[in-house]
Structure 1
Amino acid sequence: MKKPAAITALFLLLGAAACSAGGPEEAEESSEAESAAPAEEEPAEEPADETQPEPEPPSLNDEGEIEDPDAVDALVNREYHLPSDYEPEDLIQADIRYASPGDNQKNLIREPAAEPLEQFFTDAESAGHELYAVSGYRSYDRQDVIFTQNAERDGEEQANTYSAKPGESEHQSGLAMDVSSESIGNQLSTEFGETPEGQWVAENAHTYGFIVRYPEDKTDITGYQYEPWHLRYVGTELSEELYKEELTLEEYYGLGE
């Protein structure tokens, strides 16, 4: 009667074989499950600070004069003066239409502004507007004569609203040009802003690196009367920003608030 014992032993062996046969497969599945588990995420990097630094006004020397008067974006006004002996070394006469043609000091402008001014005049003419350059560079001594005459005629307080003292004029920088049109006799008057030429200038000057320096609604900031004829070259990047944001140079440098 040993057969039942033998049969029992056989079943036990088969069961053990079945259990051991499932071992590696289960281990594989366990390994795959572990590898499929998501890895821990690393903390995200904080975004870099892209805030642009605020532009700073020009540095002044011990005499209260602008240290870098050649800078195209230099602020020139009653607080930021040009040195009395400053005369740009790159003054040239642009190939444009002048109200007083000839070899005149007032027909000069600095070289960086000359080519943009030429293109400005060319495109104005293509749009049907004839512009005339009336007054560009003006030396310290010449500005002294002009302001003195204005002060004698109207009084210094009144003269200060429309005329700059020597060293305080953008014309000495060589980056300013007064423009007008024949429709008003090439006069420098607020009437220019109402002419088709003046309106075209106001709408397009920034495209060429120029700004209307003394706008009508910012007289309390610039300290000067509205001058639709007075163009100042600051470079295209800055002129586009000032036009878009409707800022004066004072406001751009945080001084007009």
Structure 2
Amino acid sequence: MSETEERLRQLEAEIERRLLERFAALRDEFDRLRLEADRRWAGFLTRFDQDFTGIVPAELLAPVESLGAPSAVPSAPPGQVGLEDVQTLDAGDNQVEVLRRFLDLCRRHSSRAVLFVSRGGSLEAWKAVGFSDRGGNDEAVRKVSVAAADDTLRRVLEGTPIRLGRDNVLSRALDARDVSDAVVVPMVVREKISGFVYADCAEGEEETFHPETVALLTYLAGTVVDRLASRRLRPSPPLKPFETVESLGEAEPERAPAPSPPPP
């Protein structure tokens, strides 16, 4: 392959990578806006408790039992990882998409989450979620870089998850000033610690912070990324929905071969 062809190949790969990141960012923003709208609507419904008896005709008031289940059902109870969460990770077509999906799942179990990746002697924020919902800026967090030589982060990069105190250097560097609890979990890809996940809990949101779940999601995301290059079956067959079959039928018994005729 000539030098020109190699440069064209690299250019095409770079263009494809940037387009994937742009489209993924747009999708994330739409998802964030939809999630925010759902939360506001849910909050409105919890406060909206009115008795329409005598105002609306009785025949128009359906009993609660007949309204059916809500359209948006959480994938698992709070603090747990469900099948839908694993399916979400498994559906990622490439590493960028898997990690974006992973952070969105972490966001369900924390106030804010950031994925840091190791580059040289520093750790750079690759993507952040939850900051824009609390007066910060998810995109601004991506400019944050911390030294890998820091004693706490060095332990994380050696493979030890760390629970941080209320007032810690990393939260301050991320401009997360209302933190009541935070964790840092090493991210392992291809048997190498390539970075870590920071997840925190804002004051007043302690009941929705589940650090053990964040750690489990981190492990699952690393496992899914490991399989991307070699996997051939997508989605993974064990994660597909069950199909109902009324009956498999009864297998016919094997018949013994007919005896050979006696010699003449």
**What TM-score do you get using the length of structure 2 for normalisation?**
0.22
**What TM-score do you get using the length of structure 1 for normalisation?**
0.22
Query: Rg: which structure is higher?
Result: 1
